Amino acid sequence: MNAMNEKISAIGVVPVIKLNHPERDAAGLAKALCDGDVPVAEVTFRAAGADKAIRIMKECCPDMLVGAGTVTNTAQIDAVIAAGGDFIVSPGFDPELVTYAQEKEIPIYPGCTTASEYHQALKFGLEVIKFFPAEQSGGLAKIKALSAPFPMFKVMPTGGISLKNLKEYLSCPVIAACGGSYMVTADQIDNNKWDEITELCKKSREIVKEVRG
């Protein structure tokens, strides 16, 4: 795997974040994640100002990996790059977005849940793909089934992941890392419950270390 993929895989979990007030909350959240030994974040464009949040988080914690999620157009990719973002995540497989990200030399993880989408990802030379929404799309059983004809991929499942099933997912050798919002809920962010976020991150990392050593 390339350097970015290896770094994300080593952390094992990727918090998926919706920030409604980036100027107020981004710095505190970045510190809470890093304090919990999870120095990575996927800031989704489901809320306005995702690029602003990415910039603030990178300024606060320069060594943190901060990317953008729910990216659906090339203008958003440009905004992420301008903000100093590290990677792109899209909910589905869009050849135009993948091509554009590769031209801009920023890693992209498109959502793939079918054999046809896996096949497209193969043509683009991708190593790691997102599997979204994971539980609703067949979960670990489907991921394992698709890995038979496509053993070259590592997968980042997102959707329905929690502390209850994190160990099960991470125990599968094709899983690079698991995305989730369970450690960064709207209540925790909006009410600045940074200690809770840090604690959930620590528990997640304990599971990663238990499984992977």
At 1 the pLDDT is 81
The answer to whether residue 9 sits within a structural domain is yes
- Asked whether 20 and 190 are in contact (CB, 8 A), the reply is yes
Our CA angle for 61, 155, 65, nearest 5°, is 10
* CATH code: domain of residue 44: 3.20.20.70
Instruction: Read off the DSSP letter of residue 51.
Output: H
Number of Cβ atoms within 10 Å of the Cβ of 103: 10
Diameter of the chain measured on Cα atoms = 46
What is the pLDDT at residue 92? 97
Structural domain contains residue 213: no
Residue 82 is part of which domain span?
3-201
Helix (H, G, I), strand (E, B) or coil at 93: coil
Structural domain includes residue 206: no
Q: How far is CA 149 from CA 109, 145, 164, in A?
A: 19, 8, 29
For residue 17, tell me if it sits in a domain: yes
Q: Please indicate, yes or no, if residue 211 is contained in any of the structural domains.
A: no
| Distance (Å, whole) CA 8 – CA 96 | 24
Stretches in the chain below the pLDDT threshold 70: none
E strands in the chain: 13-17, 40-44, 65-69, 88-90, 108-110, 128-131, 154-157, 178-180
Residue 183 lies in a domain: yes
Q: Please, what is the Cα angle at 210 between 7 and 154, to 5 degrees?
A: 40
Strands 108-110 and 88-90, by their bridges, are parallel
Give domain status of residue 134, yes or no: yes
pLDDT in tens, 180-201: 999 999 999 999 999 999 999 9
Query: Considering only CA atoms, which of 76, 152, 160, 149 is closest in space to residue 114?
Result: 149
pTM value > 0.75: yes
Instruction: In whole angstroms, give the CA distance from residue 49 to residue 26.
Output: 11
Please check whether residue 209 lies inside any domain of the structure. no
Q: What is the pLDDT of residue 213?
A: 81
Structural domain count of the chain: 1
Rama region for 177: left / alpha / beta (φ>0; ψ in -120 to 50; rest):
beta
Distance CA 188, CA 130 (A): 25
Q: Which residues are part of the catalytic machinery? A: 42, 130
